[in-house]
Amino acid sequence: MNETNNEASTGSNRDLSNAADMIVCENVSKWYGDFQALDEVSATIKEQEVVVVLGPSGSGKSTWIRCINRLEQHQEGRIEVDGIELTNDLRNIEKVRSEVGMVFQQFNLFPHLKVIDNVTLAPIWVRKKPRVEAQEQAIALLERVGIPEQADKYPGQLSGGQQQRVAIARALAMEPRIMLFDEPTSALDPEMIKEVLDVMKELALSGMTMMVVTHEVGFAKEVADRIIFMDEGQIVEIGTPETFFTNPVEERSKLFLSQIL
């Protein structure tokens, strides 16, 4: 993180005001039965921006991030990803999903496939890449996340941190323009968290648009361009890491920070 070049740095010290809008959410609402999970959520995420979503459990942050690639359906409002609006139209959903990579809390690797096949499956069948090319790319990606030697193992033979890194490689293999991380380190042992966060930092430095739901305050401080704080399905506060962590505006944010810091 001691890069001085503005191009390769992230965090609140760079100017993204001229970047294009990647994700636009306008008054997005969602209910589970009678329970309102999202309440008029509006936010815009720019290209190359790294946004960390914070909030207590049940505040709707996972639901929101899952709405963005339509794993959940929003019921009101509109979501536009890279200029494509998410509606019931299957073609739009497929287009958006191939633009958006997703990393899950529980990794969700395919246990019956080797690591290399986990990574190449979607490029071959969804992107229609020739097999050889897909495999070369997969090896390169596994090297990027630091585990090329595990290519011929099954996910069950890897540690949690390694599995999560394979999951990141699998998402990257689709060459997405946006990466969504849904609590990527919550299911990991403390000593494995760092290896996953390092990969995510490297990804942020490379200019990927990222939206990260996490409880890792250190990561948020270091990498995020903006922090979005949510509670009870609403966005409570949006700000740069500096202002949010040192000088939050809302009472709710202060209470949350006092409990986690």
Partner 1 sequence: MSDFNVTSAEGTVSIKPPPETPKLPPRLWIKENLFSSPFNVFLTIASTGILLILGRGLLSFIFSHERQWGSTATNLRLLMTQAYPEEQYMRVWVCVGVIFTLTGLSMAVWNAGSRVALRRLGSFLLSTGVVIDILTLLAPFSSSATIIWLCVGTGISLFGGSLVKFSDEDKTMSVLTVTVIALAGAILSLWVVPYGHHSFVFERTPRSLAEAGTVALTTKLPWTIMLLIGIVAYFAGKAIREKVSQNVLRVSVLTIWFLAPPALLYLVLRDPDFDMGHVLNTDIPIFLVFAAVGAGLLFWLTRPTAGELGKVIAAITLLIGFGSFLTPMRMIIRILILLLAIFAISAPTFAGDTQTRRRYSLGWIGVSGVTCWLVTAINTPSTVEVPGSFFIGGVSLTLLIAIFTIVISFPLGILLALGRTSTMPIFRILCTWFIEFVRGIPLITILIFFSIMFPMFLPKEMEIGEVASIVIGYSLFSSAYLAENVRGGLQSVTRGQHEAADAVGMTTPQKTLFIVLPQALRVSIPPLVSHCIGVFKETSLLAIIGLFDILYIARNVIPNQTEFLGSVRENLLFVCLIYWILSYQMSKASQRLERRVGLGER
Interacting residue ranges for partner 1, rule: CB under 8 A:
69, 71, 94, 97-98, 100-102, 104, 106, 108-112, 114, 116, 121-122, 124-126, 128-131, 135, 139, 148-149, 151-157, 170-171, 174
Shortest distance (Å) from residue 100 CB to partner 1: 8
CB atoms within 10 A of CB 70: 20
Shortest distance (Å) from residue 199 CB to partner 1: 16
Of 74 and 170, CB closest to partner 1: 170
Contact yes or no for 131/124 (Cβ under 8 A): yes
Q: How far is CA 170 from the centre of its chain?
A: 13
Shortest distance (Å) from residue 11 CB to partner 1: 27
Contact yes or no for 82/176 (Cβ under 8 A): no
Of 102 and 227, CB closest to partner 1: 102
259: which residues sit within 8 A by CB, 6+ positions away?
none
Of 85 and 133, CB closest to partner 1: 133
Contact yes or no for 207/178 (Cβ under 8 A): no
Which two tokens mark 220? Answer: 């948020």
Shortest distance (Å) from residue 192 CB to partner 1: 11
Residue bearing tokens 């039965």: 33
E strands in 82-225:
84-85, 100-103, 178-182, 209-213
Contact yes or no for 103/164 (Cβ under 8 A): yes
Residue bearing tokens 């648009």: 209
Shortest distance (Å) from residue 99 CB to partner 1: 9
- Three-state secondary structure along 59-102? CCHHHHHHHHCCCCCCCEEEEEECCEECCCCHHHHHHHHHHEEE
Of 56 and 146, CB closest to partner 1: 146
Of 152 and 189, CB closest to partner 1: 152
Shortest distance (Å) from residue 94 CB to partner 1: 6
Shortest distance (Å) from residue 71 CB to partner 1: 5
Contact yes or no for 240/50 (Cβ under 8 A): no
The residue type of 64 is: W
Of 15 and 190, CB closest to partner 1: 190
Angle value at C-alpha 149, between 181 and 160, nearest 5 degrees: 40
Of 92 and 234, CB closest to partner 1: 92
